[in-house]
Structure 1
């Protein structure tokens, strides 16, 4: 069986620096796919660029976190916009609020529905659906994401189930990320069967959660040797200006290094030597 690889850039539309990196990664590198944020400040710029990137897969990046504005007026979704009328800054705060019963699921549904319709209204061909900080896999939100994917006939959904032992380390930051990664991976793995029951295709393997914002060339070269037969996805966060991104979002991402990785001749050559076939989510219905 062939080893397939989807290389997906998240956060398309969040900032012009990301948009430029997506364009460069697709035209000069191994990038095959990207996920568009309806609430991103550079959304219109991303849509304009996407029209010229013939063959790139375009996904919908469902968003409930990141300090971004909602597509609906914030007063219509007050339980998910409690921070100055914007979405909360990170998934931990969102999950804490949800576990306290403070989030209304109908607001999540209506906001995500509005995000999907905004992107579909551009006329861009949509290949898949995923989530910012993977919140489409959180147990309480997953049924909503699945219902909407089925409603709008979106053919594929990302399942971020990175391998259990991958990325283990002993420093405190790594231990926390490793634990969070495995918790999310466990949930995602359990959802795969329901996704398939709805006739929606998924990736088989996933890479990039442990390396989020730090998926360097050296790490890409190492992971090529770990790719499995079937459909693998690399999630990356390239940027053409890491300093500008840090000033806006304070994530500590090294987006320029990730862009160097996906445009690396060494990475491309190793993929070719190993017989890895680059695809997008749009190809899953043909495999």
Structure 2
């Protein structure tokens, strides 16, 4: 039996360039799962693509508490008075300190789920921009409002470094909170941190696929085309040759050979 890898593109709808890049990676490459950011500048354009792909790939909500504006209004500790989300480090620190009120956070999770529904996108799963769905406080709101969806557990055992260790600790905390609430997490093993924002993306991808870390796993990717909207909205995104290398690798002819070596079907539906 062939190993199964779910190429998952985050960030659909953040900007027109991101949506165009993901469309290319779906239609000309191996991507079979995407998640829509409804607080992004191109949420409607991304949703239009998602509706076109329904039934062919997995569709998820890319929950945001670090990009754009809260749909439910200002949230104590996470937004400014106008409802604009604060920077990632501020959001993580305040969540770690328990500053946000869970009820307010849960309202925002519900608002983003409802926005996806209003845009005609039928969701299979949920993940988070900058993995915010596993942050303290936010994770409890997610487990309360979105337990009917498959929830990503971003515990990347392949990646190394401080970022991977921090995210792994947050992911294990998320898993523990889910168990305490009786929520079953059936997400596939997660990898991708070691490939993100790398000029040598293609070589790293080939190395990963040559020695799969599990019989089935989710591989996070970020294909996009450059545009001014993305640069304005997400200062942590890959720049220059790094994003070009990722999109090129996922759409070049060698990627067409991946289905011969791997099953690319999406992850199983939520339980």
Aligned-partner SS, 2:126: strand
CA distance in 1, matches of 2:95, 2:135: 10
The Cα offsets for residues 15-43 of structure 1, whole Å up to 9 and x where unpaired, read as 00011111111110001111111111111
The equivalent residue for 1:8 is 8
Match runs of 1:12-161 below 5 Å: 12-54=12-54, 55-66=56-67, 68-74=68-74, 77-82=75-80, 85-90=83-88, 92-150=89-147, 153-154=148-149, 156-161=150-155
Distance in 2 (alpha carbons) for counterparts of 1:191 and 1:96: 16
* Aligned 8 A contact 2:62 2:128 in 1: yes
Of stretches 39-48 and 226-235 in structure 1, the one that deviates more from structure 2 is 226-235
RMSD over aligned Cα, in angstroms? 2.5
CA distance in 1, matches of 2:16, 2:105: 27
Give the equivalent residue in structure 1 for 2:163. Answer: 180
TM normalised by structure 1 equals 0.82
State the shift of 1:114 in Å.
0.5
Query: Which residue of 2 is the match for residue 173 of structure 1?
Result: none
CA-CA distance at 1:200 after TM superposition: 4.5
Q: Distance in 1 between matches of 2:237 and 2:137?
A: 28
* Map of 1:277 onto structure 2: 263
Superposed CA deviations along residues 131-167 of structure 1, whole A, max 9, x for unmatched, are 11111112332222122122xx22x11111111xx44
User: 1: distance between equivalents of 2:131 and 2:203?
Assistant: 25
Q: Distance in 1 between matches of 2:38 and 2:135?
A: 20
Distance 1:23 1:2, change over 3 A: same
Match in the other structure for 1:174: none
Structure 1 segments unaligned to the other structure (5+ residues): 169-177
Does structure 1 residue 207 correspond to structure 2 residue 191?
yes
Measured after TM superposition, the shift of residue 112 of structure 1 is 0.9
Tell me the distance in 2 between the aligned counterparts of 1:44 and 1:109: 23
TM-score, reference length from structure 2? 0.86
Contact 1:4 1:277 in 2 (8 A): yes
Residues 97 and 250 from structure 1, CA distance in 2 versus in 1: closer, same or farther, beyond 3 angstroms?
A: same
Size of the aligned set, in residue pairs, is: 264
What SS is found at the alignment partner of 2:77? helix
The 8 Å contact of residues 47 and 120 in structure 2, kept in 1 or not, is answered as no
Q: Which has the larger displacement, 110-119 or 226-235?
A: 226-235
Distance 1:139 1:78 in 2: 15
